Amino acid sequence: MTVQQIQVRLFARARELANSDLISVQVQEGTTVARLRQALAEQVPELQPLSGQLLIAVDNAYAGEDQLLTETQEVACFPPVSGG
């Protein structure tokens, strides 16, 4: 299996916990959103306080857990929203 680097944009408390607005996560090629979550938990333990609450967006839309990820997509990770 080929290993991929997925760049993940972080926002709000996720950005502050990781102390970065862009992180690189190592995953197997053909990974899913659910597997990205596992990789995030293992490789970015700073996000643990938000564990189970983080939302994943792919190409500016909320992503389903089974959605496949590629290196060319824009991936973002953030806590529940609180605008307004």
Partner 1 sequence: MKTDSISITDQPIDYAAITEQVRSNECGAVVLFMGTVREMTAGKQTVALDYEAYPEMADQMLQQLVDEARDQWDVHAISIEHRVGHLTLGEISVAIAVSSAHRKEAFEAGRFLIDRLKEIVPIWKKENWADGTTEWVHPEIEAK
Provide the token pair at 82.
């609180």
User: Which residue, 2, 4, 12, 3, is CA-closest to 57?
Assistant: 12
3-state percent breakdown (helix, strand, coil) of the chain, nearest 5: 30, 30, 40
| 61 near partner 1 (CB under 8 A) | yes
CB of 82 to partner 1, least distance (A): 4
- Please identify, among the stretches 22-30, 32-40, 52-60, 63-71, the one whose residues bind partner 1 according to the rule CB under 8 A: 52-60
Residue numbers at the binding site for partner 1 (CB under 8 A): 9, 11-13, 15-16, 50, 53, 57, 60-62, 74, 76, 78-84
